[in-house]
Structure 1
Amino acid sequence: MKFLDHAPRFLFFTGKGGVGKTSIACATAVRLAAEGKSVLLVSTDPASNVGQVFGVSIGNQITRIAAVANLSALEIDPQAAAQLYRDRIVGPVRGVLPEAVVKSIEEQLSGACTTEIAAFDEFTALLTDSALTRDYQHIIFDTAPTGHTIRLLQLPGAWSGFLEDGKGDASCLGPLAGLEKQRSQYQAAVDALADPLRTRLVLVARAQASTLREAARTHEELAAIGLRQQYLVINGVLPAAEAAEDELAAAIFAREQAAVAALPVALMALPRDQIALKAFNLVGLDALQHLLDVDEPRSAVVTQERPQALEAPTLAAMVDEIAADGHGLIMVMGKGGVGKTTLAAAVAVELAQRGLPVHLTTSDPAAHLSETLSETLDHLRVSCIDPQAETERYRQQVLQSKGAHLDAQGRAMLEEDLRSPCTEEIAVFQAFSRIIREGGKQFVVMDTAPTGHTLLLLDATGAYHRDIARQMVDKGVHFTTPMMQLQDPKQTKVLLVTLAETTPVLEAAGLQDDLRRAGIEPWAWIINNSIAAATTHSPLLLQRAANERHEIAAVANVHARRYALVPLLKQEPVGIHNLRALTHREEV
């Protein structure tokens, strides 16, 4: 493996949920420890399962892994760190500021930015305190800080007072007010990250166009701020031998090879490794010892009979229930790489095929959606919102209003804040909100919807909902704001998309919690690309299908009020004919 050659002291693994970065980080730690190196494995992943992987309880203290000589581990609980962080900021103003202001501050400190900055605050010492880590030759981090967080830490001037002065509003800068350590320590940590002799960043992706595009964005973002020592690992690639035995396996293999062949230009120059898809669950020492093997012997795949077919609700039945209302807003939500654009298109196509008027709107690049549909359809209208254009419009609006009276330092901080993911979501939602009202007369299917946290920021800062409410009350007019429509289950149905894998299910559950905090109750979950719901004879895929059943049961019995299971198809769901296969209306 190239990413292990002449490994520096610090190794960071980063990537979207479900791509396997925790497993690869753990396997790397085991491999280096087996070479006689003293290793500390650190996780800052909110969905961390490092302890589960090794079968021991770890927690927020350095713990020896008894089964592996030379290996210790530490799990920084980012949620607990974020809560302590919030308490430090909110505690002094509770009972001093009005309760509404305190709640607004708490919400501003409840997003992913706060969690990540709090985690960075926790592990900064591991990068800079030689006394704390002198016993370890390698420190491996499962989950790296994003370029956005690092840029925030590099900003000049004071971090405190931003919220109290009312400069932030829907802000990612608020979390900086709770940083405890000295600026010099953060600068030393950033310097360590940027030093190729000390640090290597490993981008983990799957052999899928969407996750490779995400890896390319991450690469460019981190390289732009000096973190250029990067390697690419494409994980979970189906072995060619499986493709010879099974139609589904052959189709998957062909798709993956095409995705790798069309690698984004930004990634082409990076040193690259591929890790084969394994049949076994990546839990336990034996599994970790074999994960990084270049070739998996055929004897490692245990042939098993196809299990009894799953009795699970279909997407067709879900669309039947949606169609019965005749109109409404359908919000399709989920983390990156789970297929929400495809499923939004599939739902829209199926509704239109029934003669129902449908407006499908997305903030994905227009080329991607036009490729997915590939043809026009009666009763279906498609619109694409340009996130870059909408974000720039929103940025200029905020800079002209909030930024008009700031000094140079304050304006620089505001401009950085406006480069955050929250800003794009808010800007895109303002564009979407012009379309939302159409749901009273037809179906509006919204792809790439904002998170519950973003919606709450909008509500808390009065950027939309409260402004409209105040204006309408003054006029004595009955009104419904976009936020109120989203909270009304008679007008809006939220569909959460996930995969039948541990991390995507945990991330979808977290998204559901965010929505509930915003007063929005998800209507249903969709489990996409399920091997367990497909037909295969491949021994490796059969074992993967068996592994999925636990996660499917968790969605059905714990997380979702209603759900649908969508099979992994032989044909990629591109074009109306193949999209309809997702709703079981046509065979492909």
Structure 2
Amino acid sequence: EMKEQLSGSCTVEVAAFNEFTNFLSDKTLEQEFDFIIFDTAPTGHTLRMLELPSAWTDYLNTTSNDASCLGQLSGLNENRVKYNSALEKLRNQDDTTMMLVARPSHSSIYEIQRAQQELQQLSISKFKVIINNYIEESHGLISSQMKSEQDKNINHFTEWLNNNHAYYVPYKKQKEEGIESLTNLLNDDNLIENDDFIVEDHPQFNKLIDEIENSKVQYLFTMGKGGVGKTTVATQLATVLSNKGYRVLLATTDPTKEINVETTSNLNTAYIDEEQALEKYKKEVLATVNDDTPQDDIDYIMEDLKSPCTEEIAFFKAFSDIMENQEDMDYVIVDTAPTGHTLLLLDSSENHHRELKKKSTQTTSNVETLLPKIQNKNLTQMIIVTLAEKTPYLESKRLVEDLNRANIGHNWWVVNQSLVTLNQRDDLFSNKKEDESFWINKIKNESLDNYFVIPYRVLEY
């Protein structure tokens, strides 16, 4: 169980911050370089955790909170002074600037806005906001439509972006890897070549529907990193299957509640309010804390309950409550999926129930009923939703490795918003199409040919 707790994203962040502090405390490096640039930064949650006294004690040896994924820091206690020094450097405006980088998409800008708010609560106050891949000029119908979407998203956040004096990095046709390519980012020229890409043929979305119908699967979760289109794919699945006469429940955690489907006799929708679910779960956990528990330890529990794993567990518990009376549904489709790591935290024993029995006051019978169904590959499949790009592909691979550890089914991959199957020329994206072709081939191999491509939807004006 401790090994699984140490597999969480929070632990990875602490490990990264541990290395980060070595750089910050190295006087030789300070003298040798004018700038030290890190391509990642700790979240507000991790930094808050590192400031809590109980994070550095043996308190975690004497408590059992099924949401805890940070793992204890007492083994790193000799670095505590270094950590405090590093935090002070992050707060010093003369020393440190936090670069908040986003694509011009709603979800991406929203995430950096939220990250800034978290960091500001820790007295980190110097920021630069950078919007990357902004299309300055269109060169075809696809880039024209994408530019319109980008401008709409930017307009939504105009006040915040202006207040932060946001910088915009233009979309470049060239690849952004390697020293030479990165140097070209600073050039004003953006070499545009004719789009002579040969349209490719890949399995389409309707084939995925056929495979779902031919299987015995009842529960479908769309899984992927932010911005890949999980809600869109889940909505499409629910709509098509319900139109075929199946009884479908579509459950969403999308905070906008804009899943754009009409409830019909075959299609029902349920909204899981993640904030409400998290508050409910927090109350359940805190209700088990003894009255004589020191305040430092309570503070630790409160911060631990803000971890990503806790949010997933709270969601899973809320989802299990919704599922209590849904036996008559042919398909239950959910636009959010717990990671394999979270499922293992909930169910980390050989007989799949040690965690439940150990802390039964914190785990409802609905969860205990649902977990075996999720682990049954004949009943449940996670659909990996990704983009035909390097980072989404690598992140999806990590999610799959996580699911494999938890023995959770993931037969199908969906490549969303792809350009390679479109018979639509756009000179700005000729290189992008070549890149997509490369990553789709990787996805094809990784998924053992169980992949499906959804093209970018071009609206004819």
When normalised by structure 2's length, the TM-score is 0.92
1:136–1:403 CA distance, 2 compared to 1 (3 A): farther
Matching of residue 525 in structure 1 with residue 418 in structure 2: no
Match of 1:353 in 2: 243
CA deviation vs aligned residue, 1:79-111 (integer Å, no higher than 9, x gap): xxxxxxxxxxxxxxxxxxxxxxxxx00000001
Within 1, Cα distance between the matches of 2:356 and 2:329? 22
2:138, 2:144 within 8 Å by CA — same for their partners in 1? no
CA deviation vs aligned residue, 1:131-155 (integer Å, no higher than 9, x gap): 3432111000000111111111111
Match of 1:303 in 2: 194
Matching of residue 338 in structure 1 with residue 228 in structure 2: yes
What letter corresponds to residue 323 of structure 1 in structure 2?
Answer: E
Match of 1:62 in 2: none
1:264–1:336 CA distance, 2 compared to 1 (3 A): farther
Matching of residue 488 in structure 1 with residue 376 in structure 2: yes
Within 2, Cα distance between the matches of 1:177 and 1:290? 46
1:173, 1:413 within 8 Å by CA — same for their partners in 2? no
Deviation at residue 325 of structure 1 after TM alignment: 4.4
Q: Give the SS at the match of 1:179.
A: helix
Match of 1:497 in 2: 385
1:248, 1:535 within 8 Å by CA — same for their partners in 2? no
Choose from 308, 320, 336 the match for 1:433.
320
1:455–1:537 CA distance, 2 compared to 1 (3 A): same
1:328, 1:440 within 8 Å by CA — same for their partners in 2? no
Deviation at residue 439 of structure 1 after TM alignment: 6.0
Within 1, Cα distance between the matches of 2:34 and 2:79? 26
CA deviation vs aligned residue, 1:197-235 (integer Å, no higher than 9, x gap): 111111111111111111111111111111121111111
CA deviation vs aligned residue, 1:234-287 (integer Å, no higher than 9, x gap): 111123242xxx222221111111111111755441121111111111123321
Choose from 4, 9, 13 the match for 1:112.
9
Within 2, Cα distance between the matches of 1:352 and 1:160? 53
Match of 1:195 in 2: 92
Matching of residue 124 in structure 1 with residue 21 in structure 2: yes
Match of 1:8 in 2: none
Match of 1:282 in 2: 176
Matching of residue 414 in structure 1 with residue 301 in structure 2: yes
Within 2, Cα distance between the matches of 1:340 and 1:567? 15
The residue correspondences of 1:41-60 to structure 2 (distance < 5 A) are none
RMSD between aligned residues: 2.5
1:162, 1:173 within 8 Å by CA — same for their partners in 2? no
When normalised by structure 1's length, the TM-score is 0.73
Within 1, Cα distance between the matches of 2:419 and 2:308? 32
Q: Give the SS at the match of 2:201.
A: coil
1:548–1:459 CA distance, 2 compared to 1 (3 A): same
What letter corresponds to residue 151 of structure 2 in structure 1?
Answer: Q
2:67, 2:305 within 8 Å by CA — same for their partners in 1? no
2:128, 2:164 within 8 Å by CA — same for their partners in 1? yes
Deviation at residue 163 of structure 1 after TM alignment: 3.0
Q: Give the SS at the match of 2:32.
A: coil
Matching of residue 221 in structure 1 with residue 118 in structure 2: yes
1:409–1:480 CA distance, 2 compared to 1 (3 A): closer
Choose from 344, 348, 357 the match for 1:456.
344
Match of 1:392 in 2: 279
Deviation at residue 393 of structure 1 after TM alignment: 0.8
Match of 2:254 in 1: 364
Match of 2:394 in 1: 506
CA deviation vs aligned residue, 1:503-561 (integer Å, no higher than 9, x gap): 11000000011111111031211111111122332112122111111111111013455
Match of 1:93 in 2: none
1:466–1:182 CA distance, 2 compared to 1 (3 A): closer
Q: Give the SS at the match of 1:535.
A: coil
Within 2, Cα distance between the matches of 1:381 and 1:169? 32
Match of 2:268 in 1: 381
Choose from 43, 47, 50 the match for 1:153.
50
Matching of residue 261 in structure 1 with residue 149 in structure 2: no
Within 1, Cα distance between the matches of 2:304 and 2:171? 39
CA deviation vs aligned residue, 1:295-333 (integer Å, no higher than 9, x gap): 334xx12224122x2221111110122133476111111
Greater RCO (CA < 8 Å, at least 6 residues apart): 2
Q: Give the SS at the match of 1:488.
A: coil
Match of 2:363 in 1: none
Structure 1 residues not aligned, in runs of 5+:
1-103, 473-478, 572-586
Structure 2 residues not aligned, in runs of 5+:
361-366
Within 1, Cα distance between the matches of 2:216 and 2:377? 14
Deviation at residue 378 of structure 1 after TM alignment: 4.2
Deviation at residue 440 of structure 1 after TM alignment: 6.6
Q: Give the SS at the match of 1:381.
A: strand
Matching of residue 137 in structure 1 with residue 34 in structure 2: yes
What letter corresponds to residue 492 of structure 1 in structure 2?
Answer: T
Match of 1:546 in 2: 434
Within 2, Cα distance between the matches of 1:158 and 1:373? 44
1:522–1:439 CA distance, 2 compared to 1 (3 A): farther
1:480–1:560 CA distance, 2 compared to 1 (3 A): farther
What letter corresponds to residue 350 of structure 1 in structure 2?
Answer: V
2:346, 2:356 within 8 Å by CA — same for their partners in 1? no
